[in-house]
Every structure is written in C-alpha cells, then in structure tokens.
Chains A and B, each alone.
Chain A
Amino acid sequence: MTERRIVLPGELLVEGDYQPGLNVFKYGGGFYASKIGVLSIVKQTVSVIALHGVYEPKVGDVVIGKIIDVGTFSWTVDIKSPYTAVLNASDYFKGRFNPARDPLIKVLKPGDMIIAQIADFDRTKNPVLTVQGFGLGGITRGIIVELSPSKIPRLIGRKGSMINLLKREGKCQITVGKNGLIHIVGEKPEDEELVAQAIRKIEREAHTTGLTDRIMRFMKKGGS
C-alpha cells in the first residue's frame, strides 16, 4: 500500500473479484466505502481504515474503562462506546466472593480506572469484562490520554513500529486500550508527558505519510 487514498462514504472503490472488509459494503457489482478513511487493499480484501467513529466492542479487545457505578454483585464501567460494560464481582474475586464480607466499593470506587478485556459481547447484551489476565486490573499510577479509537491502528503502526518507538524512546510502559484510552507509566512525570504529547501529535497527523519518522525526531528532540 504505497498510495494513501482518502475515500468518502458512497465512493466506488473497486469492482470485480474482491471481498468486502471493514467499512466496505457491496452493492451491485461494486464495493463502496461506508466511512471517511484510508483505502486499503490486501490480497483480495478491500477495507477502509476509518478516520472517525466510536469504539465498537469486540470480544478479546483490551480496553481501559472508568468505574461509574457500584452494585452488589457487579461494577458498571464506562468504556467510551455506545454500550456500557459490566465487570462481575465473581470475575474480580475469581468466584470466591461474599457480598456481605467484601463490599465492592472497598475494591473499586466510582472514578477508578481499570484495564480489562472484553469477555463477552453480542448484539443482544452489553459487554462483559474480565480482569483475569496479565496486565489487567485496577490502575494505581501513571497517566491516561484519550485518542480517537479509529486512530489506534496508526498509534500501533505496522507490526507495532510506532508503539515500540514510543516505549523505547519515551522510557515508559504503555498500555493501549482499543477503545481509545492509553495508559502511560514512566519513571518521571516528564517522560509520561512527552509520550502524551507524541500521542496527541499522532492523533492530529494520523492520515499523513512519514509519521513514524517525524515522531522519531519529535522524541529525540524531547518535544517541540
């Protein structure tokens, strides 16, 4: 994919022997874009990498969420998507859980941030989260920056080139939530702030070419 062509909804992309991928639909013999984005044709699959849009939950995605409500048996979590998520206490306590002995509010309060994985989601019910896994659970330090979820692929880069650059040059641990929230932990607050600035730069220039090189220079300079 050398050319980065911006396409618009209703634009005819290709005709013939192809498969529709993300944000592409077939009508008659043609394949049309359904969102504003960058055209990508890999093998016979036509897709559009969207430049705008909300986060659509998928099972297996790692997301960063904010606790907005505490119930007797579960927490309600805002994951910046059209659907609010649920984290069950039985999952957090690995099944050994007595609401009389361990009130949920002692563990996670409204306003707390968590890193979680989507365990279950379909058209009929809201997403269910799990915190059982490496790197998942409550967040106790670091900062969180927000990015448009449609720009996450750009932040990660091809085979993780961009995110690895940020981790290496920024000397920070970075957890990318697929819903557009990014958790940054560094030794010093300045390191965290530099990475946050780089992420904002990526957001502004997501659709341009040669971005990885510019971010490299940005990090080496220590900001602009």
Chain B
Amino acid sequence: MSSGFVRVDGRLPDQLRPIKMAVGVLDKADGSAYVEQGNTKVLVAVYGPRELHPKHQASLDSAIVRCRYHMAPFSTKERKTPAPSRREVELSKVIKDAVSQAIFLENFPRTSIDIFIEVLEADGGTRCASINACSLALANAGIPLRDLISSVAVGKYRGCIILDLNDEEDEAAEADMPIAMMPSLNMITLLQVNGVLTEEEFKRAFNLAVKGCMEINMIQRETLRSVYASIKGEED
C-alpha cells in the first residue's frame, strides 16, 4: 500500500471519515440513534419487543425482526421518489439479517422488533452507517444483545485498498466490500463483495475492515457511556 496515496477528500487509505453518534434522540421510540459518517446521515428508531400484528407472521419460538430502510426524498442530489425501490427492499433485508444475529430473539416468542431506518443524506456507506445506528438504537431500547455490531466498507480504488468509501469513490471503485461484525465475540454478521479482488487483496481488505470496525466500536461504546456520564455530572 503506497502510504503517499491521498484520496478525493484528502484522507489516507486506512482513515475513517469523521464520525458523530448520538442515542436516545427520539422520545416516542423505545430506542433511537443518529449516526453521521462524513456526509452520510442516518436516523434509526426501534420499537419493541411488542405485540405483533398481523398475528400470522409471528414465530412461535422467537421474536421476528422487521426492518425498513428508507431514503428521504432529499437525501440525494436528484429527488428520490419516496416509494420503496428495489434497492431499498434489498437493503432492508440485508440489514435485518446482519442485525438479527446479535439479538436474543428466543427471549420474546410471538413478538416483533421493528426497526425504522431513515437515510437523511446519502454519501456512500449508508448500509454500514445504518447497521451502526441500529446497533446503538437496539442497545438504547434495552433489547438483549450478544454484542454491539460495528460495520464499515472497504474497497479497491485505483489499485489501492481503502477504508470507508464515500459516494464518489464508491462509483469509481473496482471493488467494494461492506462488512459488519461483533467485535467482542469476533464474529462476522455481514460480508458482501461487489467487483473483483485477488485473494491477497481480499485478505488485506478484510483486515483493514476489521481494524475499521474496532475503531467504530470504540466510538459506539463511548457514545452509549457518555449518556450516563453527562447525567451523573449534572448531579454531583
């Protein structure tokens, strides 16, 4: 990896975009979170576990997860129609599968956990930002989790393996690989690849993604902890 390689936004190949996170931003939801990764902005609300309607969808031995990924009409340069597109339906499914792995679904038979993801601004890596936000919102809702899920994309851009692609890089990239993992348990819950990577490139990209997930995990943990630190500070 050439260390002098500078990206379109001036980052180093192994550098994340600036990240901002907040939890409990919505009052009516059981849990909520807001995540910014560069210009990508995502808001997530979680409800449940709650009684499931229609009842025929219920699973008798576990909760089910329902997930809706939606991009706001103003999230892109050109207006996006608010109706769910093929891509949004697919991403809802992909995110649901990545996030469900962490939840103790068997604790709440016959119920549903509903996740609503609203992309406010899209600039690459929305699925990863969504997964990061979902994980925070689920923890905030008090839903039992095996671990927080951290997610980041890696890709190959002009022959160089880079971390956390933005939209411009994503469109020109030779390959793009979003990954989600549970860092404490060392488990992967999402791995997709678009494009072509050699075996050696894959290994390098994978290790870079793991490193990125660890960094994001630290920020997630600090965010969840800071809620209690600030209230404590008020009192003493």
Contact = CB atoms under 8 A, between A and B. Distances in A.
Contacts of B146: 9-10, 25, 27, 32, 34
A208 interface: yes
A82 B235 contact: no
B51 A10 contact: no
B186 to A, nearest CB: 10
A176 to B, nearest CB: 19
A84 B144 contact: no
A91 B61 CA distance: 29
Contacts of B43: none
Contacts, number: 90
A6 B228 contact: yes
A205 B224 contact: no
B228 A84 contact: no
Interface string B133-177: 000000111111111100000000000000000000000000000
Contacts of A83: 51, 110-111
A34 B148 contact: no
Given A51-B142, A52-B31, A204-B231, A82 B49 contact: yes
A82 B111 contact: yes
A205 B233 CA distance: 11
Contact of B147 (A9, A23, A54, A124): A9
Contacts of B104: 25, 34
B143 A123 contact: no
Nearest to A25: B146
Interface string A49-67: 0111110100000000000
A214 to B, nearest CB: 8
Contacts of B236: 208
B14 interface: no
A178 interface: no
B73 interface: no
A183 interface: no
A54 B184 contact: no
Contacts of A8: 139, 148, 221, 224-225
A23 B144 contact: yes
A204 B224 CA distance: 16
Given A9-B146, A9-B148, A34-B146, A52 B141 contact: yes
Given A82-B50, A124-B60, A10 B142 contact: no
B49 A54 contact: yes
Interface in A183-224: 204-205, 207-208, 214
B142 to A, nearest CB: 3
Given A12-B184, A53-B141, A208-B236, 19 more contacts: A8-B221, A8-B225, A9-B139, A23-B144, A25-B104, A27-B146, A34-B104, A34-B146, A35-B139, A35-B142, A36-B224, A53-B142, A54-B49, A56-B108, A82-B49, A123-B61, A123-B109, A205-B235, A207-B232
9 shortest A-B CB distances, which residue pairs? A53-B142, A10-B147, A52-B142, A9-B145, A34-B144, A10-B184, A82-B111, A82-B49, A123-B109
Interface of B: 30-31, 48-51, 60-61, 102, 104, 107-111, 139-148, 182-185, 221, 224-225, 228, 231-232, 235-236
